[in-house]
Amino acid sequence: MRPLLLLPEIVVFVGGLAALLAGSFLARRRQWITRVVAGVALVSAAVLAAIALAGSDLMAFEGTFRVDTATGVARLVACLGTLAALGLAADELADSPRESESYALLLFSTTGALVLAGAEDLLVLGAGFLLTSIPLYGLIGMARTGRGAEAAMKTYLLGALFGILLLAGVTVLYGVTGTTTYAELPDRLAAAPAGAVAAGTIGLLAGLLFEAGGVPAHFWVPDAAQGAGGAVAAFLTTIPKIGALLATYRLVALLPGTLDWPVFVGVLAAASMTLGNLAAYWQQDPRRLLGWSTVSQVGFLLVPVAVAGASPLALPSLLLYLAGYTVTNLGAFAVSTALPDRRELASYQGLGRARPWLGTSLVVTLLGLVGTPPTVVFVGKLTTATAAWDAGLAWLTVLVVLNSLLSLFYYLRWIEPVYASGRSREEAGEEAAEEAGEAAFVVRPWSARIAVAAALLSVALGIGAGPLWAVVTGR
């Protein structure tokens, strides 16, 4: 069974349990200890994942969980991404009544994402789905606001619906094949009735797209991004997608050619990137804008999934894009959590002058999400578009380019006020204008630091994409 192959997942889950139990006995002003416990667990898991990444591909628990390059990259990105979310929570949740519970739920959901990333069995896939999604309902509802309650209820109802579809898909595929193990599924699916295979697979894809936040299961994402706390919004638009999209890739890669699955997944990718872009254009709340941006980004991330097995670039490009998106999206959300009261795009007017580093970080991360060089998302979009072209889906490559250009317009709506000023320096006076601007933009320190670090890392990974590509290809 080799349970130690799942040591990173075990460490993260045990860290969540330790944070939950310790929080029950610590005074409110000492709840920060649970944040340290959670951070140590995530760093330890990341180190273990890096060590395992240097090893060979292995199977655990009778072939139901795969430890390979993709799993190793997912572990590293998810653990470090959750660590960044903990940093955002340090500003937002410190000394709050639900501090330790929030950290525990973040780690439990991260564990579920890691299980999804390595799942090689439909039952393990179902368990990973539940472990990822159930903590999200509590995390969203902890905002204790009207919008937070609405978002939590919508996420729960949609999660229940698409969770039923996923489990129904597992049941159908098991019924027509007699197995749930990926190693045995391809041959048996090819011999099974095409209609039953299509119904079961669509149910599975629907559940995974809920977790990822893609069309047609995307409705909860903008509401959750707007209604949840900043750290939670950054987490839920990033970490669960790592496991869900990698699980989707593994599933699509084993499907038989009796149905045209590349075109089907390609249509879902096109719908997600286009709808997300069009809806984001009209948003005034920056977090809701980022929520719709997330829907769009899932569309881009589905492009290499559509060509799974048809291009050697598919899996490496997916992993590279996931790493780049995680860094860049967390950086954009970090700016919004650094300025929690700025809930309209126009309220960022003058940020670039008052807080140059924070303004620059916002511009870098937003342009990074567009796919502007030299950021790492540019390399991710370039390689995913190349993978689609290589697999013969040229129309999907064209849509990637067009939607990237389309996304520029709504990101510019946020960037424009950052460097706009309502009063001239001649009117207000040079020093008085600067002092007034800094006083108006009071920032949360941890969030500001993470925003700057994420922007720098996004550029650094883009410039150093060569070594990063070597990691994701396992060379």
In this prediction, residues 165-193 reach a mean pLDDT of 96
274 within a domain of the structure (yes/no): no
Does 276 reside within a domain? no
298 vs 32: which has the higher pLDDT: 298
Taking only the tens place, the pLDDT of each residue in 245-296 is 999 999 999 998 878 899 999 999 999 999 999 999 999 999 999 999 999 9
pLDDT (tens digit per residue) in 333-383: 999 999 998 999 999 999 999 999 999 999 999 999 999 999 999 999 999
- The predicted structure's pLDDT at residue 28: 76
According to the model, what pLDDT value does residue 421 have? 66
225 in the same domain as 114: yes
pLDDT digits (tens, 9 = 90+) for 199-218: 999 999 999 999 999 999 99
Residue 119: pLDDT over 70: yes
At residue 422, does pLDDT exceed 70? no
Q: Do 50 and 140 belong to one domain? A: yes
255/288 same-domain check: no
248 and 117 in a common domain: yes
Least confident of 162-176, 319-333, 368-382, 408-422: 408-422
- Residue 436's pLDDT band, with cuts at 50, 70 and 90, is very low
The per-residue pLDDT for 326 is 97
- Residue 387 reports pLDDT greater than 50: yes
456 and 414 in a common domain: yes
Instruction: Flag whether 191 is in a domain.
Output: yes
Write down the pLDDT at residue 438.
52
On the question of pLDDT at 428 being above 80, the answer is no
- Which pLDDT score, from 0 to 100, does residue 424 have? 47
Q: What is the pLDDT of residue 2?
A: 67
Domain count, the chain: 2
447 located within any domain: yes
pLDDT score of 412: 95
Residue 425 predicted with pLDDT over 80: no
Q: Are residues 309 and 359 in the same domain?
A: yes
Indicate whether 224 and 324 sit together in one domain: no
Asked if pLDDT for residue 75 goes beyond 50, the answer is yes
Looking at the structure, do residues 227 and 312 belong to the same domain, yes or no?
A: no
Q: How far is CA 160 from CA 101, 134, 216, 422, in A?
A: 22, 9, 15, 47
Domain co-membership, 222 together with 296:
no
Residues 287, 366 share a domain: yes
Question: Does the residue 275 lie in any domain?
Answer: no
173 lies in a domain? Answer: yes
For residue 144, what pLDDT band results from cuts at 50, 70 and 90? confident
Judged against a pLDDT cut of 60, whether residue 197 lies above it is answered with yes
Answer with the one of 228, 259, 290 that is the final residue of a domain: 259
Model confidence over 222-249: pLDDT tens digits? Answer: 999 999 999 999 999 999 999 999 999 9
Burial 223-232 (b: 16+ CB within 10 A, else e): bbbbbbbbbb
Q: What percent of the chain is predicted at pLDDT more than 70?
A: 95
Containing domain of residue 145, as a range?
A: 1-259
Domain annotation covers residue 116: yes
Average pLDDT over residues 163-169: 97
Angle CA(45)–CA(122)–CA(163) in degrees, nearest 5?
90
Residue 272 lies in a domain: no
239, 295: one domain: no
Whether residue 221 is found in the same domain as residue 189: yes
